[in-house]
């Protein structure tokens, strides 16, 4: 696992080595073990490496056999040995045992068709020394980030925004549409950046640069197309059992110690149980909890770890530690990010890094197999039950919904930051005008188009969540929080075979008789005790609402009512001051979303 960065000046003016060195220094936490650089005139690309495989001879950049292509790469390719053998049989030579050298030679042979052969997680850059072109690409699930800026004929790219902004030629102009999206959903959209002049390489695609101009390619996108339920239940269980065992086996490949996250929930417990059967060594497992018992799963993770015979480690997070971690993560995320679960993730990954370099996690299972409480509402739309299991926030039951209002209903389900009415009350006149000029309605139109592609609301919602919610929130959180601690996280549920299987799975095998993730529960009975299989799902959450009306309240209020915060221009100062001072525990996620925006501003502008 690595961090990558580079600069290409298409005016053919020399790239300053000091700029690339500064960009890579900002990525040292992603790759503390080694640095590598290719610098030739107007081109400079490099990487910071976290050693996982090919410990002694896996340095980058890597070069193709013909010397034409130079590659830097962040990620892991699980089928690289198979591809390497195939290339050797065709006469290719290798100087390393790394997956990176396989990629660059595969590109020499296949061109952009190389992408379809890669099984893994990755963000990469390939420079063509003859044609003076650059290709940036990301994996199909968006597990590894990659940002870039094209400004006045200069291309700069990096794994993290903080590193990219070391190139001071890049303007820092706020994108009001991205900001409005953030306030609504607590994350910045995957196809925009908080800064107008910076872009993200598309998930499942790439961006090519030639003569200072860019073109985009889309290689892979998940589409949910459920098959008829014409097979016996046991056959479905056997299939996912085989796929998951294969996915875990591939992800246990490493030359460094590996562990698993073990929250005590279904997904991480299932992965841990299977990994225990496959691993040749005693598995290390990790969990975090809180003194607030309603938010802690430690009793389940400890009990299961003892039964599975793992070497278990856990950690209890206090409010003070949580607050410090939230502030520290701001610079790593680079953009405003207001999911408090990132705090718990940070402590889990910090704990794990004290013992291992790689962990397996359960990410992706909810989006593929129906793990969110909101899916039960979606499956019954427009007939919503009088009671639902959503933990807070969403006011859905104050009206009778029509079948053609699904987009609006689902938008409300996902809006858990600052709601639409509250945003309009708080926005300054200038902010409201900017949004009107920028056409924020385009985001809503895109949202509507994607959600109405299916006649089946459940498939529409889950496909949208996989291609947006998961990539914009979950994948960003996992990558940033883990790499801030120099830890690699692998996600067996996001294996290509499992993604294909999950996207074809009939809806009644996802939600059945009031049970979420029904097929995974059936599989889990082969590996796990009933107290894990049958327990109610508990999200990785922190006691934010409790802390915000107690230990955190004064600091949050003081921060948001400071002259500095009130002068940003986004909100009407009088209305923001009134909203913050009248806070009594309601609208806690709205307040936290605005607080994290202000902390981000302090980090990226005031500092």
Look up tokens 């979303």; give the residue. 593
Please report, in range form, the residues annotated as the binding site for ATP.
288
Task: List, in order, residues 6 or more apart from 115 with CB less than 8 Å away.
Answer: 137, 206, 219, 220
Q: Give binding residues for L-glutamine as ranges.
A: 99
Q: What are phi and psi of 526, to 5 degrees?
A: -80, -20
- Identify the CA nearest to 484 among candidates 342, 320, 279: 342
Six-digit token string for 293: 């018992």
CA distance 342 to 322: 10
In the annotated binding site, the residues are: 99, 288
Token pair 């053609």: residue: 404
Residue with tokens 């994350």: 187
Using left for φ > 0, alpha for ψ between -120 and 50, and beta otherwise, residue 331 falls in alpha
Choice among 2, 62, 409, 522 that is catalytic:
2
At 364 the three-state DSSP class reads coil
Q: Note whether 517 and 369 are within 8 A (CB).
A: yes
> Is 2 in the active site?
yes
Quickly count: other Cβ atoms within 10 Å of residue 232's Cβ: 9
Quick count: other Cβ atoms within 10 Å of Cβ 421? Answer: 8
337 φ, ψ (degrees, to nearest 5)? -150, 120
* Rounded CA separation 551/4 (Å): 39
DSSP secondary-structure letter at 195?
A: B
3-state per-residue secondary structure call for 510-562: CEECCEECHHHHHHHCCCCCHHHHCCCCCCCCCCHHHHHCCCCHHHHHHHHCC
382: preceding bond cis by omega (within 30 degrees): yes
**277/245 Cα distance (integer angstroms):** 10
Catalytic residues: 2
């Amino acid at each position: 696992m690595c961090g990558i960065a580079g600069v290409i000046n298409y005016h053919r003016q020399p790239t300053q080595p000091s700029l690339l060195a500064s960009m890579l220094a900002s990525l040292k936490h992603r790759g503390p073990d080694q640095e590598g650089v290719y610098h030739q005139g107007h081109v400079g690309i490099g990487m910071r490496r976290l050693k996982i495989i090919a410990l002694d001879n896996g340095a980058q950049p890597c070069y193709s056999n013909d010397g034409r292509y130079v590659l830097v790469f962040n990620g892991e390719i699980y089928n690289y040995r198979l591809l390497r053998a195939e290339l050797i049989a065709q006469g290719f030579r290798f100087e390393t045992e790394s997956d990176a050298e396989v990629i660059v030679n595969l590109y020499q042979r296949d061109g952009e068709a190389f992408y379809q052969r890669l099984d893994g997680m990755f963000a990469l850059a390939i420079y063509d020394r003859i044609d003076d072109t650059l290709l940036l690409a990301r994996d199909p699930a968006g597990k590894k980030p990659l940002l870039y800026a094209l400004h006045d004929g200069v291309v700069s790219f990096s794994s993290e925004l903080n590193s990219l902004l070391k190139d001071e030629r890049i303007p820092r102009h706020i994108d009001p549409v991205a900001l409005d999206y953030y306030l609504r959903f607590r994350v910045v959209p995957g196809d925009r950046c908080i800064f107008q002049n910076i872009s993200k390489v598309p998930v499942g695609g790439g961006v090519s640069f030639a003569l200072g101009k860019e073109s985009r390619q889309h290689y892979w996108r998940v589409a949910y197309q459920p098959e008829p339920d014409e097979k016996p239940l046991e056959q479905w269980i056997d299939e996912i059992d085989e796929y998951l065992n294969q996915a875990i086996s591939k992800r246990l490949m490493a030359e460094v110690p590996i562990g698993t996250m073990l929250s005590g929930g279904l997904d991480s417990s299932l992965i841990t149980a299977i990994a225990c059967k496959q691993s040749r060594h005693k598995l290390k497992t990790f969990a975090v909890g809180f003194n607030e018992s309603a938010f802690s799963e430690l009793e389940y993770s400890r009990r299961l770890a003892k039964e599975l015979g793992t070497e278990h480690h856990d950690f209890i997070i206090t409010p003070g530690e949580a607050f410090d971690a939230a502030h520290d993560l701001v610079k790593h995320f680079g953009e405003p990010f207001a999911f408090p679960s990132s705090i718990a993730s940070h402590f889990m990954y910090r704990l794990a890094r004290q013992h291992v370099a790689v962990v397996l996690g359960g990410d992706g299972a909810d989006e593929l197999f129906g793990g969110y409480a909101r899916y039960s509402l979606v499956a019954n739309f427009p007939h919503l039950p009088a009671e639902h299991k959503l933990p807070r926030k969403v006011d859905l039951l104050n009206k009778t919904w029509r079948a053609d209002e699904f987009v609006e209903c689902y938008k409300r389900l996902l809006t858990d930051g600052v709601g639409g009415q509250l945003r309009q009350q708080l926005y300054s006149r200038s902010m409201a005008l900017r949004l009107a000029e920028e056409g924020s309605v385009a985001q809503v139109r895109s949202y509507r188009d994607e959600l109405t592609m299916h006649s089946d609301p459940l498939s529409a919602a889950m496909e949208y969540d996989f291609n947006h919610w998961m990539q914009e929130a979950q994948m960003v959180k996992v990558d940033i929080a883990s790499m801030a601690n120099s830890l690699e996280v692998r996600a067996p549920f996001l294996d290509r075979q499992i993604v294909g299987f999950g996207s074809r799975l009939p809806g009644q095998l996802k939600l059945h008789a009031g049970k979420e993730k029904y097929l995974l529960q059936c599989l889990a009975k082969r590996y796990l005790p009933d107290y894990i299989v049958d327990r109610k799902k508990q999200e990785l959450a922190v006691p934010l609402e409790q802390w915000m009306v107690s230990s955190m309240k004064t600091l949050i209020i003081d921060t948001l009512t400071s002259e500095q915060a009130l002068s940003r221009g986004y909100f009407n100062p009088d209305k923001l001051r009134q909203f913050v001072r009248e806070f009594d525990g309601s609208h806690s996620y709205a307040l936290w979303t605005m607080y994290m925006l202000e902390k981000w501003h302090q980090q990226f502008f005031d500092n």
